Amino acid sequence: MQPRQVRIIGAPLDLGAGHRGVDMGPSAIRIAGVQRRLQHLGHTVRDGGDIETGVFETLDAGDPTLRFFEPVLDVNRRLARAVEQALEVGEFPLVLGGDHSIAIGSVAGAAAHYRRRAAAIGALWIDAHGDMNTPDTTPSGNIHGMGLAVALGLGNPEFVNLHASGPKVRPEHVALVGVRDLDPGERRALKENHVRVFTMRDIDQQGMSAVMRQAIDVVTTGTAGVYVQFDMDVIDPATAPGTGTPVPGGLSYREAHLVMEMLAERADRVIALDIVETNPALDNRNTTAKLATELILSLMGKAIYAP
């Protein structure tokens, strides 16, 4: 991989999730040495600090189908600007979450940058969940389960039109990998929008390599590049215990690294990375944050052997 200029953007938002503690995720990944280790790989790294977020205990959740709507919207507005600004000056946005509701802003910022260049972006959603709920289908009201739906133009209009009007990605440019827990409304929305979904059964039957080849083809065909959304709950909780919505039967340690290593082989097409849902309050000796850091390094060019 050619050296890149990386901007770390912390988005310590926990208002979109159902469990406290994920706001400490960016700090945990920093403690694991992400900046120093990226620099060791030859990248130039600037840490832009954290987007300011609200304090859970001081806020009213409000609408039960869109919990903490206003503060989540505000954080995502500012995150969209930060991601767009990084891309404008040729930097690679590395967004450290926080819960996965931050994808609403980060994808919006990247889409705006490329839209001005008359280009589309792809989205590779590596996640145990579909993130395809809307206020009409959500069983919990947690906005971290709505990010992909919003990116596709579904759900609350203020989210859908954040930073730029309308959808941010097209369904034919989206691949969802590692899914093993979908709500009924999400299943319908994914089918109706013809989103390419690779479940854990697909991975079991075809192998991680074959699935990733197909997924990368989906998100890079007809796009200027791909925004990688990596939710740590895609990994089996025995390997990554520090996440708020664990589902048994996830990716293994090696499968998760293979995902990133295969993306590194197409590094010229990867425009940004969000790594989300690391929750130190539920973790064991920062295990999950350390793994998140290792996965970032794999995407950014760390290899076992380079001939």
Residue 233 annotated among the catalytic residues of the structure: yes
Catalytic residue among 202, 231, 236, 283: 231
Flag whether 306 is in a domain: no
Q: Of 99, 127, 261, 274, which is the active-site residue?
A: 127
Spatial separation of the C-alpha atoms in residues 133 and 146, rounded to whole Å: 5
How is residue 181 annotated by DSSP? B
For residue 252, is it within any domain? yes
Tell me the CA distances in angstroms from 74 to 35, 162, 254, 270, one per residue in order.
Answer: 27, 10, 37, 27
Is 30 within the bounds of a domain? yes
List per-block mean pLDDT (blocks of 10 residues) for the chain, which spans 307 residues: 95 93 97 98 98 89 97 98 98 98 98 98 98 98 98 98 97 98 97 98 98 98 98 98 96 98 97 98 97 98 82
163: in domain: yes
Among the options 43, 113, 129, 163, which is catalytic? Answer: 129
Residue 60 lies in a domain: yes
* Residue 243 included in any domain: yes
| CATH code of the domain in which 279 resides | 3.40.800.10
* pTM beyond 0.95, yes or no: yes
- The whole-angstrom separation of Cα 296 and Cα 257 is 9
What's the structural domain count of the chain? 1
| Residue 140 in domain | yes
What is the domain extent for residue 87?
5-299
Write down the pLDDT at residue 185. 97
Evaluate the CA torsion angle 198, 216, 210, 302 in order and state its sign.
Answer: negative
245 within 8 A of 182, measured Cβ to Cβ:
no
Q: What pLDDT shows up at residue 307? A: 67
The answer to the question of residue 152 being in a domain is: yes
